[in-house]
């Protein structure tokens, strides 16, 4: 009996711009349309030099069980990576660590399909860390 081929899942990933005291920094962010909160890793908070506000927030997943507790939140100003006047102001809960590199495995992208398209993450096919 042959093994079934593993299915490929595409996750919504975008390159976003975040302002720092040293200027703008581009980060790779996972866009989770099913989430009701924004999360950011402690590493990125330190990298951006963001001031943290104390909060205690339990974070649960699909099973509604407490998966982790966030002890801080930060204020964010998020911009697209391309030229735009759009700015999204929001707050994000800080977690010690988030996702591993995504996608799980790099794959070949057919360049002709994406030619002349403005992509949220032009390197979506390459395994890379998610920073937010």
- Which residues fall within 8 angstroms of residue 30, CB to CB, at 6 or more apart? 11, 12, 13, 99, 102, 130, 132
DSSP code of residue 128: B
* Cβ proximity of 49 and 21 under 8 Å: yes
List, as own/partner pairs, every contact residues 124-127 make where C-beta atoms lie below 8 angstroms and the sequence separation is at least 24, other chains included. Answer: 124/10, 124/13, 127/101, 127/102, 127/103
Measured in degrees and rounded to the nearest 5, phi and psi for residue 92 equal -130, 140
Q: CA-to-CA distance for 104 and 48, rounded, in angstroms? A: 26
The DSSP line for 88-113 is EEEEEEEES----SBSSS-----HHH
What global pTM score does this model have? Answer: 0.75
Measured in degrees and rounded to the nearest 5, phi and psi for residue 35 equal -90, 145
Q: CA-to-CA distance for 100 and 41, rounded, in angstroms? A: 11
Per-position pLDDT tens, the chain of length 132: 666 666 666 678 888 998 777 788 888 888 887 788 888 989 889 988 999 999 999 888 766 666 788 999 999 988 888 888 999 999 999 998 776 677 778 888 887 777 888 888 888 888 877 764
């Amino acid at each position: 009996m042959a093994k079934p081929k593993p299915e490929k899942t595409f996750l919504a990933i975008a390159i976003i711009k975040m302002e720092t005291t040293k200027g703008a920094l581009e980060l790779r962010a996972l866009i989770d349309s099913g989430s009701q909160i924004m999360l950011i890793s402690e590493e990125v908070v330190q990298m951006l030099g963001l001031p943290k506000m104390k909060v205690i927030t339990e974070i649960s997943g699909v099973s509604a069980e407490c998966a982790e507790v966030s002890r801080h939140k930060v204020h964010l100003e998020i911009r697209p990576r391309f030229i735009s006047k759009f700015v999204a102001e929001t707050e994000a809960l800080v977690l010690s660590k988030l996702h591993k590199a995504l996608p799980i495995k790099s794959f070949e992208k057919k360049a002709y399909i994406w030619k002349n398209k403005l992509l949220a993450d032009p390197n979506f096919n390459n395994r890379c860390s998610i920073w937010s």
